[in-house]
Amino acid sequence: MSLLCIVQNSSFSNITYSTANGKGVRFDGTASGTLLTWNSYYNNNRTGIEIQNAVLAGYCNQISNNVDRGINLLGGATLDFAGVVSTGYMPMNDISNNPISVGTSVAKNILLSDGYNNLQPNAGGLSISGTIKMFCTPPPSIVANYNNWDGTTLPPSNYNLTTVAGQAGCTSAIPVTISDSNPGPVIACGSNSQMMAGTSPINNCPTCDNIYTPHFSGQGLEEASVEALEKTTQVGGNDFKEAVNMYNEILMYNLPNPDAAEKYVLNHSYNNMLPALGRSFRSGQITEAQNATALTPEVQKTIDVQNKLIVEAAANNAYLDKYYLTLDKAQTYRLAGRRDLAFVVLDDLATWVQPEQTDYFNYWSCTTHMEQDLIDGTISYDDFVATIDNCGTSANYRFAQTATTQNTNSSIANMAKLVSVYPNPVKDNLTIENLTGTQIKIELTNTIGQVLYSNKFSEANFNLNCAAFTKGIYSLAVSDVSGFKFSVKKVVVN
């Protein structure tokens, strides 16, 4: 599940390679999590903050004098040190005197505009360096007004940022332009008392619309989010189910053209909704047994929100948003004990996940399948413990890889090419062509994971009569004799 981790008034300094690999803080939010930090120090480490698969946000932090880089953004990470002019919110983070202020490796996004951040590296260093996943057409650019780049009032020139070759329509890596039309002098937070929580859009959002739902009768969006948060243990409450219901109303509300502050509040709400659902299970307010046949309202409402956000991400061509939200959806089903539904989501994701995210996706797919195998009794607890660690980043199919079952990505692709289906769309008979020369297993499931047909065959051609199936989209999973699922194909019945 997604995480919201808050760090305030803390210090993570003087950490060398011998401790925590030299990182002041490392945060892997697994999917759409957020590390929110303020009034904290990350100095004199190898790396000040390293973040992966999550958002780093905050204000009035000092991330300075680190040996390698101040901030390190790894696959799918977003840096959100942008300000909100309408509320007077200025993050004013000091990321100075590092060889590289912000390093990236397939980062998702960099948001700095109106941030009044100090990104001045040490002599000869770079303010931003690495790769970011952006479309190459039109020429990629990042607007980052009102920041300091080199101790002067000059626009940024000390950076080296490129797109990722082979992703987002980029056949080769090309430079990303960073522009700042109003670079300014360093504005320090002083004793870190200038930026108080009240300047955050969560606490002060005059531009936020009012919402009208069963729980809210005209409160501002930010007020509604605070009321939902008050139901959780973060501020002394314990009605997690109610918090989920309230967050659902906030996130499903038809808010036309949300501005930057409203988007901040919506993101904050989503990142708090998921922990609230998790705590509902942990506290016993919701159980797996209650979800065995039909999802409880709170789980379904979480799925509804995720479906809405996935559709929006797809419409905006925001691949990484869609990817992580889809993983969130699978994790929601997994939390509810409905791995059968999680498999449907994961099988679909397997058909469009891009190479850079394959390892992380494979880890969760492998882990989820092994958990179900343990529950079903098809593997013993000892076998589970012995092999679960092999799911790791190299696992790329249902079962964890071992020395005797390891397959390369190329062999998987070759196996998949040896099985084809036609015609597709199909009305009556679907022909499944098997050129593997071995026995394969096919399993046809509907959109909610129900297995409608399962069979094994070795023949070169097999006919599946689809005339009895209702019109719609189905998933055809193909496995070898060991149970290794090497292909999932979409079949349209019309």
What is the per-residue pLDDT for 220?
92
Measured distance CA(346)–CA(408) in Å, rounded: 20
Of 185-199, 257-271, 336-350, 467-481, where does mean pLDDT reach its minimum?
A: 185-199
Contact by Cβ (8 Å): 302, 273: yes
Residue with tokens 């929601």: 332
Among 200, 196, 190, smallest CA distance to 89 is for: 200
Does domain 417-493 sit in CATH 2.60.40.3080? yes
Mean pLDDT lowest among 253-262, 294-303, 329-338, 392-401: 392-401
pLDDT at residue number 100: 95
Position 445 scores a pLDDT of 79
The span from the first CA to the last CA of the chain, in angstroms, equals: 36
Q: Which of 481, 57, 459 is nearest to 265 (CA)?
A: 57
pLDDT at 128 over 50: yes
- How many Å is the Cα radius of gyration of the chain? 25
Q: Are 35 and 51 in contact (CB under 8 A)?
A: yes
Beta strands 429-434; 461-465: pairing state: antiparallel
DSSP state of 202: T
* pLDDT in the model for residue 34: 82
Structure tokens at 319: 């691949």
Range 62-89 average pLDDT: 83
Instruction: Locate 130 and state its tokens.
Output: 């690495």
Label residues 195-220 b or e (16+ Cβ within 10 Å = b). Answer: beeebbbbebbebbeebebebbeebb
Residue 315 pLDDT > 80, yes or no? yes
Upper half-sphere CA count for residue 348 (Cβ side, 13 Å): 19
Would you say residue 193 has pLDDT above 60? no
- Predicted pLDDT of residue 278: 84
Q: Nearest 5 degrees, angle CA 35-CA 126-CA 58?
A: 20
Contacts of 480 (CB under 8 A, 6+ apart): 415, 436, 438, 439, 440, 441, 486
**pLDDT(459) > 60:** yes
What whole-number distance in Å separates Cα of residue 335 and Cα of residue 328? 10
Alpha carbons 20 and 22: distance in angstroms, whole number: 5
Residue by residue, DSSP assigns 359-389 as HHHHHHHHHHHHHHHHHHTSS-HHHHHHHGG
Mean pLDDT of 44-70: 89
| Cα(34)–Cα(411) distance, integer angstroms | 37
pLDDT of 329 reads: 93
pLDDT of residue 397: 29
Instruction: Kindly indicate the confidence band of residue 139, based on its pLDDT and cuts at 50, 70 and 90.
Output: confident
Higher pLDDT, 194 or 475: 475
pTM of the complete model beyond 0.95: no
H helices present in 176-258, as ranges: 221-229, 240-252
Mean pLDDT of the 208-219 span? 94
- C-alpha distance from residue 37 to each of 70, 117, 125, 145, 455 (Å): 14, 14, 25, 22, 53
Average confidence (pLDDT) over 411-437: 80
Per domain, the residue ranges of the chain are: 4-179, 204-346, 354-406, 417-493
**pLDDT at 102 exceeding the cut of 90:** yes
For residue 292, the model assigns a pLDDT of 93
Percent of the chain with pLDDT over 90: 26
Residue whose structure tokens are 């007004």: 145
> Which among 52-66, 303-317, 396-410 has the top mean pLDDT?
303-317
Backbone torsions φ then ψ of 62, nearest 5 degrees: -115, 120
**Pair of tokens at residue 381:** 């607890």
Per-residue pLDDT band for 17 (boundaries 50, 70, 90) equals low
Q: How far apart are CA 91 and CA 101, in angstroms?
A: 16
Please tell me the distance from the alpha carbon of residue 412 to that of residue 401, in angstroms, as a whole number.
Answer: 13
Average pLDDT over the chain, rounded to an integer:
80
CB 368 within 8 A of CB 342: yes
Place of tokens 């199919």: 397
Which residues does residue 8 pair with via DSSP β-bridges, in sequence order? Answer: 38
